[in-house]
Amino acid sequence: MNVYDSTRMEDVMKQDGYVSTSNISDADLVVLNPCHIREKAAEKLYSELGRLQRDKTPKPMIAVAGCVAQAEQEEIARRAPYVDIIVGPQSYHRLPKLVADIEASKVKGDRKRSIDIDFPLESKFDLLPPVQARSVSAFLTIQEGCDKFCSFCVVPYTRGAEFSRPVDSVLQEAKKLMGDGASEVTLLGQNVNAYSGDTKGLAGLIRKLSQIRGLERIRYTTSHPRDMDKELIAAHGEITQLMPYLHLPIQSGSDDLLKKMNRQHTAEDYLKVIEAVRDVRPDIALSSDFIIGHPGESERDFEQTLQLIETVGFAQAYSFKYSPRPGTPASTISEQVPEDIKSVRLEILQNLLNKQQREFNTRFLGQSVPVLFDRKGKLPGQIAGRSPHMQAVHVNCKESEEVDKYFGRTVNVRITGAFRKSLTGTIEHTAL
C-alpha cells in the first residue's frame, strides 16, 4: 500500500508541475513514505534521513509520510529537526498545500515545519487526481484501516478505523487503469476482504470488476481469515480472472497464542477456510504471514505452528520475528521471548517454508504457464513476469527485439527450471 500511496502523492504533486526523478540529487522535494509495522522498517527512515542531510546540497524540502509520520511525529521532530513536512496516510491529498506553506515560510525567512496527521472527514480518494497506470500490473486501494486490534499490531492506530471505498469509485479507477494499458489489478487493503463498499462484499466487487474489458487478472491482499465469507470462497471457483493465489495470514498455529494475539479465530477455523477454498480451486497457491516470538510463545506453541505449516503446505509465506510496537498491548506483556530464541525458531520455520516453496515450484517443471510480462531484465533479451500462481518467471529471449514484442502481454511459457523464488522457461511461440 505504501507503493500505491507514493504513486498517488506523485500524481497529486504533478498537478503543481512537479515531475518525479530517479536521481535523488535532482530532487527539490524528497518524500519518504515508510512502513511502521515493525521497528526495523521504521528505523530505516532515520538512517535515510541522516544520509539525505549529510550528502545532499542544496538541501531539498523533505517530507515524511505514511504510518511512521502518523505515529512518530514528535520522534521525527526530535531526531531529524530538518524535516519540513510530516503528513499522515489519510491526509496526503493535502501535500501540495503543505509544500506551498513551506515555500511561503521560506520566502518570509522563517522556514518552519508543516504537519498534517488528521483523519479528515473527507476521503482522500474523492480529492486525488485521476490515477495513471505505471505498469501492466496495477495496485488499487479499496479498503483501509482496521477495527480488529490484534495485540501486536499498529495498523488500527496508524491507518485508523476500517473504511471501504464506494464500489463506483473503485470501478472507475479500474477502468481508467485498463484504459491506460494495465491488464492486472491487485486490490489492496489492510483487511481487504472486510470490504463493504458493495452490498455483496469483496466477492460482489470482484464480480463487477470481472466485467471490465481488458481486465485479465484480479488479485487481492491482505485478507483476514475471519472475513473469508462463502461468497468470496465461491468466487475463487467461478471467476476465471480471479487468480489462483491467496495470501491469508494466520500468524500462529497455536490456539493459546492466537487468543493472546486477539486474532478472534482458531487454527481449526483457518484450516476450514483453506479446505473450502481448495474444494473450489484445488490448485490454489497459498501464502501466509507468521509472527515468531510473540509474548508468551512457548516451545509447544511454536511446534503447533510448524505442524500447521506441514498440514497446509504453503506455496510461499512471509515470516517475521515479533517486534514490539509502541502503544500496542503486546509490547507491555512481561513474558517477552528472548531474541536468541526468536532467531532459532525463525530459522527452523523459514527452512520448512523454503522447502515447501521449492516443492511447490518444482511441480511446474515441464508445464506450460501463462505469464504476464511486466519487467525487462538488466541484460538484452531478459524479460520477467508472473504466473497465475504469483511465481516470478524469467525468460531469456533469443532475440532482444522479442522483449518488446512480449512486454506487457500474457504469453505461454514452458517451464524448464524451478528454484525457490522463481521459475525459468522458454516462450511457446504456438501460443501467440
Point out which residues bind ligand SAH (CB under 6 A).
37-38, 152-153, 155, 190-191, 222, 224, 249, 251, 289, 291, 320, 322-323, 325
Pairing, β 245-247 against β 285-287:
parallel
How far apart CA 12 and CA 408 sit, in angstroms, is: 26
Contact flag: residue 156 with ligand SF4 (CB under 6 A): yes
Q: Pick from ligand SAH, ligand SF4, none: which does 409 bind, CB < 5 to 8 A by kind?
A: none
Instruction: For ligand SF4, give the closer residue by CB, 176 or 226.
Output: 226
CA angle 352, 358, 364 (to 5 degrees): 145
Between 142 and 291, whose beta carbon lies closer to ligand SAH? 291
Return the one option of ligand SAH, ligand SF4, none that residue 156 interacts with (CB less than 5 to 8 A, by type).
ligand SF4
Cell numbers for 128, please give them.
Answer: 486525488
Shortest CB 290 distance to ligand SF4, Å: 12
Among ligand SAH, ligand SF4, none, what does residue 160 contact (CB within 5–8 Å per kind)?
A: none
Report the chain's terminal Cα–Cα distance, integer Å: 34
According to the binding rule CB under 6 A, does residue 250 interact with ligand SF4? no
- Closest to ligand SAH by CB, 155 vs 284, is 155
Q: Which does 322 bind (CB under 5 to 8 A by kind): ligand SAH, ligand SF4, none?
A: ligand SAH
320's contact among ligand SF4, ligand SAH, none, with CB below 5 to 8 A by partner kind, is ligand SAH
Contacts of 154 (CB under 8 A, 6+ apart): 36, 37, 67, 71, 325, 326, 327, 328
Per-residue binder mask for ligand SF4 (CB under 6 A), 207-246, x = binder: -----------------x----------------------
Part in contact with ligand SF4 (CB under 6 A); list of ranges 88-96, 142-150, 168-176, 179-187: 142-150
Rounded least distance, CB 72 to ligand SAH, Å: 15
323 binds ligand SF4, rule: CB under 6 A: no
**Residues ≥6 apart with Cβ < 8 Å to 315:** 245, 285, 286, 287, 356, 357, 360, 389, 390, 391
> How many residues in the chain?
432
Strands 143-144 and 163-164, bridge-based pairing: antiparallel
Taking CB under 6 A as the rule, does residue 155 contact ligand SF4? yes
- The span from the CA of 15 to the CA of 142, in Å, is 23
Considering the complex, state which of residue 273 and residue 291 has its C-beta at the smaller distance from ligand SAH. 291
Residue 186 engages ligand SF4 in binding (rule: CB under 6 A): no
CB of 360 to ligand SF4, least distance (A): 25
Which grid cell is 158?
A: 496508524
Give Cα 415 distance to the centre of its chain: 27
> What ranges in 29-183 are assigned the alpha helix state H?
39-55, 66-71, 73-79, 95-107, 124-127, 155-158, 167-179
330 touching ligand SF4, by CB under 6 A? no
The closest of 117, 30, 154 to 80, measured between CA atoms, is 30
CB closer to ligand SAH, 70 vs 323: 323
Q: At closest approach, how far in Å is the CB of 186 from ligand SAH?
A: 15
Query: Smallest distance, Å, CB 152 to ligand SAH?
Result: 4
Helices (H), 230-317: 230-238, 255-260, 267-280, 299-312
Q: Which is nearer to ligand SF4, 150 or 423 (CB)?
A: 150
* Closest by CA position to 60, among listed 94, 31, 81, 87: 31
Residue numbers at the binding site for ligand SF4 (CB under 6 A): 146, 148-150, 153, 155-156, 190-191, 224
